[in-house]
Structure 1
Amino acid sequence: MAHAHEEPPDSPRVRAASLLRRHGWNATSPQVLEGGFSYWFDGDDACVAYVDTGGAWVAAGAPLASTERRLAVTEHFIAAARAQGRRACFFATETRFAGEVPLVSLQMGEQPVWDPAAWEAKSLRSSRSLREQLRRARAKGVRVRQVSSTEVADPATPLGQGVAALASQWLEGRDMAPMGFLVQLDLSTLPEERLCLVAELDGALVGLLAAVPVYARNGWLIEDLLRNSGAPNGAIELLVDDAMRRFCRAGSEFATLGLAPLSGDVSPWLRAARKLGSGLYDFHGLHAFKAKLRPHAWVPIFLSFPQQQNSLLTTLDVLRAFAQGGLVRFGLLTLIRAPGIVIRLMALLLVPWTVLLALPLARPYFPTPGVRWAWVAFDVMVAIGLFSLMRRFRRSLALLIASAVTGDAVLTLAQALLWNMGRASGMVDALVITVAVAAPWLAALLLWQAIRRARL
């Protein structure tokens, strides 16, 4: 991506960067210069960064505008979206904006905040475990140093190559497909102002912290924290400690690690979504990690939208913005990447399938009753194995089940070709045979992929 200073001075991104430096108060405001955003301007003194999902304009935080103009800009943006046949909403807004505008504000989580000047007095001194993590990392020989953000983002430099490998390992280790909007990994924006720290062990890169300024708040957003899988305990805490001390020396008054999604006082249906989605995203773990750094406060983060808009539909608009390519595509990519979800889904689907095989209506699809009951017994054993893996993943059991399902796929195909195809009559039979053949092949592929992902 080209940096803002390399673009024409009248380009939307350069204009947005200028307004960001004047009015960027939301913790997420520095991220509006990353890839994928469009910019809507209300005159020369206000801007909204947004993503067009096809059904809505999803804004990243509050408008970049003065206090006096913010309400009018909000109303104008909503009207402009409606003129294009789009809904409008503002994701990751804070209490200040929620109190200024006549919009519904639905809490979507909370973010931890620190006063860097009180980091040592309020955070370190109140947490023996945090101090111990820092001690361990230093004792192991982990060292933190500041590096040029330009070098970090340049794949032609040794450091840039190391960071790219670290980022690749981090992305590959996540169960969810890569997301966009406010959670993409982009180290190229604001190169002059960005703070980049690396943690090294014997000269090898084991961790990275990247922070960007929240201009109108005299503060910082720590937007990226990457850790090598082999990094000693405390390496990430050491990076945060170093960053907080730098913020303090610079006279900064605010620091945050950003949103902990679906945490805090969220609605019952969002709590249900958190529970259902825990196999894909470690909501509790992320909140717990940020909490152990002893924040000085937790502040709510909202999704703000017009009162006449449906809250569920608006939430789906936000999910589409993060999915960057459609929810169906994102879901399929995530299914391939998430071993736990694959195993759980296969176990649950195998139960009704086995019941169907045991019913009298399945008799015509098997050469003999013995063959039919052998398949039923086989599926029961596979289901038991899958439910066992759901409780605790064991590679040896997963390999055994994957091998058995692969054999199932081969035998099912052979039975379909040698027995079923010649006796099929009508679309129903063709559909049943197709599903019976395709299901074990797909299950085998997903299981082998799940085993590969589980090693990461």
Structure 2
Amino acid sequence: MSSSDATDRHDGIDMEHQRVLALLKRYGWNATSFQVLEPGYSYWFDGDDACVAYVDTGHAWVVAGAPIAPYERIAQVSERFEAHAAASGRRLCFFATEQRMLDAAPVKGLSIGEQPVWDPRRWEEGVRESRSLREQLRRARAKGVTVREVSPAELKDPAHPLRAGVDRLMERWLRSRRMAPMGFLVQLSPYAWADERRSFVAERNGEVVAFLSAVPVYARNGWFVQHLLRDKKAPNGTAELLVDGVMRAAAAEGRSYLTLGLAPLAGEVAGWLRAARLVGTPLYDFEGLRAFKARLRPHAWDRIHLAWPARHGSPLPVYDALTAFAQGSLARFGVATLLRRPQLLVWLVTVLLVPWTVLLALPANAHRFPSPLVQWGWVLFDVGLTVGLFSLVRRWRTWLATLLGSVIAGDACLTLLEALLYNVPRARGLGDWLILGVAVLAPSVVAVLLFWARHHPTLEPT
């Protein structure tokens, strides 16, 4: 047994990657199995026929999928790796496992979403039966979009015009993301192991407007579409046309399995995960992603799980998995995301405005206003402001941000005036001063935030 870090700068490590690749070609069944060849993973080998790929968060080892091993060895390898993690002072979880591992190993599982699956050989049949899909393909072709497979040589050469076009597309795509860049199973690495990948581009007037990269799922005679990037200016139907291209190429080779990967928090998930899906919508378009995949008429939906050793009942696996995606620090990732997208702060303020408005309306707070008329005037004002802000965060419009910012700036001035003339002379305890401080400072901060946010890129669909 051995454990070592995966990098690309040492000759011995290259041999290690070749060893992992050889195991993948024999036992790589998990849809995301090929991704363990990318930078950032450590490997633990159990004999000559088993490997576990994981990242170390500092407190836990988060495994990418299931162990790469014969099915009959998965339980044994999992238990041995669990013992190795415990001896190293690390918790353990397995992210993006399928039902197969839950059946094979002594682990508990939490459903984290669904993964659409196609048999590419039946794709043409689905296109014929779907009028809406045919219309999307027609729209893209009518706008001059063409799709072609590109060779590894085109992508590996940094000076090649096609590579430059894909680089520009990736740069635009990354700028449009709502969240800071993540690692683990969602890092953007379309040039790694290019000879093993299948890559397709959608072009219009000589410009790359979309890109697709598929990696092999060796043990299932199929492909996993790891990257599907579309320029926001690409014509409608461009993404569908790319998927059509990869499906037809897979069918021509007799492939029997293809997936577009996880639709997170889709399908039957725990109630608290459904709540997380709702709260997290400003960060990630969960419903939109699943709807796009569903429009492509998958032949099945596979449940995807977060798994951990059965003897442990802790909720920490969820935290550990999120930390892996955040590349070590959820706090740092959160700050980076907020700085990247100030509109998210606007969304947070909008949510907090709801309980604040309720508090203002309570009879117990009537003494904080010169009269009931003033109290209900502020309550109605905040209700209208809440509606306007929710409309803004749902669909960002610069003119609306400017209008609301101006209105809230006026709110700040009136609140300060009322505070000086009425509330300050009557303030008695710490609670009064805290409420007064929030009432005066909050609108000023929100006004500044809105004027700042309007000059930054708006939120684009994930």
Q: Same fold (TM over 0.5)?
A: yes
Residue 202 of structure 1, aligned match among 205, 216, 220: 205
What is the alpha-carbon distance in structure 2 between the residues aligned to residue 310 and residue 10 of structure 1? 36
What is the alpha-carbon distance in structure 1 between the residues aligned to residue 383 and residue 106 of structure 2? 52
1:102 and 2:106 aligned: yes
What is the alpha-carbon distance in structure 1 between the residues aligned to residue 232 and residue 347 of structure 2? 26
Note the 1:384-403 alignment, pairs <5 A: 384-391=384-391, 393=395, 394-403=397-406
Q: How far apart are residue 403 of structure 1 and its match?
A: 3.9
Map of 1:57 onto structure 2: 61
Contact 1:4 1:189 in 2 (8 A): no
Q: 1:135 to 1:82 in 2, by over 3 A?
A: same
Contact 2:8 2:39 in 1 (8 A): no
What is the alpha-carbon distance in structure 1 between the residues aligned to residue 444 and residue 60 of structure 2? 38
Q: 1:53 to 1:427 in 2, by over 3 A?
A: farther
Residue 115 of structure 2, aligned match among 111, 116, 135: 111
Q: How far apart are residue 274 of structure 1 and its match?
A: 1.9
Bigger Cα displacement from structure 2, 35-44 vs 139-148? 35-44
Give the TM-score of the pair, scaled to structure 2. Answer: 0.83
Note the 1:78-227 alignment, pairs <5 A: 78-121=82-125, 123-152=126-155, 154-227=157-230
Note the 1:10-409 alignment, pairs <5 A: 10-11=13-14, 12-121=16-125, 123-152=126-155, 154-310=157-313, 312-338=315-341, 341-350=344-353, 381=381, 384-391=384-391, 393=395, 394-405=397-408
Q: How far apart are residue 454 of structure 1 and its match?
A: 2.6
Contact 2:61 2:93 in 1 (8 A): yes
What is the alpha-carbon distance in structure 1 between the residues aligned to residue 157 and residue 416 of structure 2? 51
| Secondary structure, aligned partner of 1:279 | coil
| Secondary structure, aligned partner of 1:117 | helix
Bigger Cα displacement from structure 2, 224-233 vs 442-451? 442-451
Q: 1:381 to 1:193 in 2, by over 3 A?
A: same
Question: What amino acid maps onto 2:384 in structure 1?
Answer: I
What is the alpha-carbon distance in structure 2 between the residues aligned to residue 35 and residue 411 of structure 1? 56
Contact 2:60 2:90 in 1 (8 A): yes
Contact 1:406 1:440 in 2 (8 A): yes
What is the alpha-carbon distance in structure 2 between the residues aligned to residue 36 and residue 427 of structure 1? 50
Contact 1:31 1:182 in 2 (8 A): yes
Map of 2:3 onto structure 1: none
Q: 1:378 to 1:13 in 2, by over 3 A?
A: farther
Q: 1:160 to 1:292 in 2, by over 3 A?
A: same
Q: How far apart are residue 32 of structure 1 and its match?
A: 1.0
Bigger Cα displacement from structure 2, 432-441 vs 260-269? 432-441
What is the alpha-carbon distance in structure 2 between the residues aligned to residue 214 and residue 251 of structure 1? 14
What is the alpha-carbon distance in structure 1 between the residues aligned to residue 40 and residue 303 of structure 2? 26
Bigger Cα displacement from structure 2, 335-344 vs 218-227? 335-344
What is the alpha-carbon distance in structure 2 between the residues aligned to residue 169 and residue 216 of structure 1? 35
Contact 1:354 1:376 in 2 (8 A): no
Give deviations 1:399-425, integer Å, cap 9, x for gaps.
122245567779999999xxx9xxx99
What is the alpha-carbon distance in structure 2 between the residues aligned to residue 426 and residue 269 of structure 1? 38
Q: How far apart are residue 51 of structure 1 and its match?
A: 1.5
Bigger Cα displacement from structure 2, 54-63 vs 433-442? 433-442
| Secondary structure, aligned partner of 2:72 | coil
Unaligned ranges ≥5, structure 2: 1-5
Contact 2:354 2:386 in 1 (8 A): no
Q: How far apart are residue 336 of structure 1 and its match?
A: 4.0
Q: CA RMSD in A?
A: 3.6
Q: How far apart are residue 433 of structure 1 and its match?
A: 8.8
Q: 1:399 to 1:242 in 2, by over 3 A?
A: same
Bigger Cα displacement from structure 2, 425-434 vs 80-89? 425-434
| Secondary structure, aligned partner of 1:99 | helix
Question: What amino acid maps onto 2:27 in structure 1?
Answer: H
Contact 2:343 2:459 in 1 (8 A): no
Q: 1:177 to 1:361 in 2, by over 3 A?
A: farther
Contact 2:415 2:439 in 1 (8 A): yes
Bigger Cα displacement from structure 2, 162-171 vs 397-406? 397-406
| Secondary structure, aligned partner of 1:329 | helix
What is the alpha-carbon distance in structure 2 between the residues aligned to residue 110 and residue 356 of structure 1? 40
Question: What amino acid maps onto 1:385 in structure 2?
Answer: L
Q: How far apart are residue 297 of structure 1 and its match?
A: 1.1
What is the alpha-carbon distance in structure 1 between the residues aligned to residue 97 and residue 118 of structure 2? 18
| Secondary structure, aligned partner of 2:95 | strand
| Secondary structure, aligned partner of 2:280 | helix
What is the alpha-carbon distance in structure 2 between the residues aligned to residue 178 and residue 216 of structure 1? 30
Identity of matched residues, %: 54
Contact 1:145 1:197 in 2 (8 A): yes
Question: What amino acid maps onto 2:49 in structure 1?
Answer: D
What is the alpha-carbon distance in structure 1 between the residues aligned to residue 194 and residue 78 of structure 2? 30
Q: How far apart are residue 9 of structure 1 and its match?
A: 4.5
Q: 1:37 to 1:357 in 2, by over 3 A?
A: same
Q: How far apart are residue 18 of structure 1 and its match?
A: 2.8
Question: What amino acid maps onto 1:335 in structure 2?
Answer: L
Contact 2:346 2:446 in 1 (8 A): no
| Secondary structure, aligned partner of 1:90 | strand
Question: What amino acid maps onto 1:387 in structure 2?
Answer: V
Q: How far apart are residue 229 of structure 1 and its match?
A: 1.1
Unaligned ranges ≥5, structure 1: 364-368
Q: How far apart are residue 187 of structure 1 and its match?
A: 1.0
